[in-house]
A and B are shown apart, each in its own frame.
Chain A
């Protein structure tokens, strides 16, 4: 049980050490950040093992020895290790990639400090059981991401960062206001206690108001469609590892995980809220993929496709049957793998060719085989081509739509999947397979180092084999247990209080 606070201790401690030593000892920031990420990954796997062995599959850590609801609690249930593994796995591979990629920026240690702070914020959001604590970690992650978007300090990056910061802080203020109102209604900040108080007091008029505030605040962090305007600017402007981090895990942890934790486990999903979620999800899916059509900038294309894929995840979660929740969570995992892979690839491409314009690229597959083939795998997976991971999660979501008597939703999901295939085909195929060019082949190959290639190959392999997670005895237990946490809804409170006894 004492392993729980180490997720925050390791990442915050690494951020501190890097800021102290990084300036004077040049390589120390690389070693510190990578070993911290490795430790975090090992810890999340250990937590998964631990949670399988405990009865009831729940662990509650009392911070400072105070018994919740008085003190802050950290709750590990089956959903937590699933999210922790997703985040820390992607972060570890991105940290390996950054060793060489970030050489072209000055002050690499500042990058690693902010990176570890962001990771601390995300791990904190995942393991906390206290709603104000969640807000604090959310702000830690958000503020470091504002700074990281502006890391290159070019005109466009600063502009994108300012836009992101303004929208992000307005969203955070709405969340804080929602927490204040919720506190005045329930007189507690502990999420389990809050769920209990809400069920005891019965439905009140204040809850829809708070729901709207949270929906707007967290929806902005998740870039659901009416609140998506910052994402296509902010994600492409950041350095490639950070784009991968933002699109891969940040929007999911800050937005979707926090939303689903609060709406499923604290408020309890109602019909009306689920309908609103479905509408937002459909809007994100359709608008994101239509806007992606016109893009010629490779990173903007990926950013718009993130919006559309986030729609799939929210659709799966919003329908609310166990099968659809499982599809949503599985798509969350898959999307974090292949979207970070694609952004890392875009970094290598930008690095070697010197442009992000898709029209000026051709024959990447022949010039840079590793980058080319991994991009191909990522793109095929996101389009949902059968043996790859993305296919299975989309298939589950579509089946779940039909099973829950929403054939229209299933049709829209299929339609958007075809749209996805179309815009990736239109944009990426000429860049990968195109023949005509007069550029020097050999100079390209040298620029991607073995560490960058290794992390890209690892991500590509993961996105090929992630379909195996559905096989019983391999990963199906993990997915099913994570699903049951959300599907059980507000019985989360009883589990937490039982674990405290």
Chain B
């Protein structure tokens, strides 16, 4: 149970980072932390105590395996996270070229 709570704390750290930090790069890192916390939580759901890797060989029974499905889903989620991070870093670089700063308080041409 403790691991789940630690996971949620990690998630909250990420949210805090996105909300409070003023640097674009730090915000992107915060999003990364949120994604990792989500992925970690997903992987933990599939974990079974004393479980072995979910590879089915001929002489072994399907017993005490960890759940392989969350692992497959986490792989997909990691790829999606990579795409988002790459896109956002690219946008951040372009913003730096236009505004000359990473500080979000100075990037305010829009009214919001």
Contacts and interface: CB of A to CB of B under 8 A. Distances in A.
A170 B84 CA distance: 11
B41 A177 contact: yes
Contact of A136 (B41, B80, B87, B95): B80
A36 to B, nearest CB: 22
Contacts of B92: 162
Given A170-B31, A177-B41, A180-B42, A159 B95 contact: yes
A173 B35 contact: yes
Given A143-B87, A173-B35, A233 B110 contact: yes
Contacts of B70: 180, 183
B33 to A, nearest CB: 10
Contacts of A136: 76, 80
A172 B81 CA distance: 10
A392 B107 CA distance: 43
If over half of B's interface residues share one DSSP class (helix, strand or loop), that class is named, otherwise mixed; here it is helix
Contacts, number: 89
Contacts of B24: 162
Nearest to A165: B88
Interface in A274-324: none
A166 B107 CA distance: 15
A4 interface: no
B45 A155 contact: no
A9 interface: no
Contacts of A176: 38, 42, 77
Contact of B88 (A139, A162, A232, A237): A162
Given A143-B83, A143-B87, A158-B98, A170 B15 contact: yes
A227 B107 CA distance: 21
A159 B110 contact: yes
Nearest to B40: A180
A184 B67 CA distance: 11
B109 interface: yes
A336 interface: no
A180 B31 contact: no
A132 interface: yes
Interface string B71-112: 001001100100110011001101100110000000111101
Contacts of A147: 87
Which of B11, B15, B38 has the largest number of chain A CB atoms within 10 A? B38
A150 B94 contact: yes
Contact of B38 (A156, A162, A173, A229): A173
B18 interface: yes
Which of B41, B77, B110 has the largest number of chain A CB atoms within 10 A? B110
Contacts of B91: 146, 150, 158, 161-162, 165
B27 interface: yes
A100 B11 CA distance: 46
Contacts of A158: 91, 94-95, 98
Contacts of A491: none
Contacts of A459: none
Interface in A141-179: 143, 146-147, 150, 153-156, 158-163, 165-166, 169-170, 172-173, 176-177
Contacts of B42: 176, 180, 183
A159 B80 contact: no
Contacts of A156: 109-110
Interface of B: 11, 15, 18, 24, 27, 31, 34-35, 38, 41-42, 45, 69-70, 73, 76-77, 80, 83-84, 87-88, 91-92, 94-95, 98-99, 107-110, 112
13 contacts: A143-B84, A150-B91, A155-B109, A158-B94, A159-B110, A161-B91, A166-B18, A169-B35, A170-B18, A170-B34, A173-B31, A176-B77, A177-B38
Interface of A: 132, 136, 139, 143, 146-147, 150, 153-156, 158-163, 165-166, 169-170, 172-173, 176-177, 180, 183-184, 189, 229, 232-233, 237
Given A143-B80, A173-B35, A176-B77, 6 more contacts: A139-B84, A146-B91, A159-B107, A160-B110, A162-B91, A177-B41
| A-B pairs, 6 with minimum CB distance | A155-B98, A184-B45, A180-B42, A173-B34, A139-B80, A176-B38
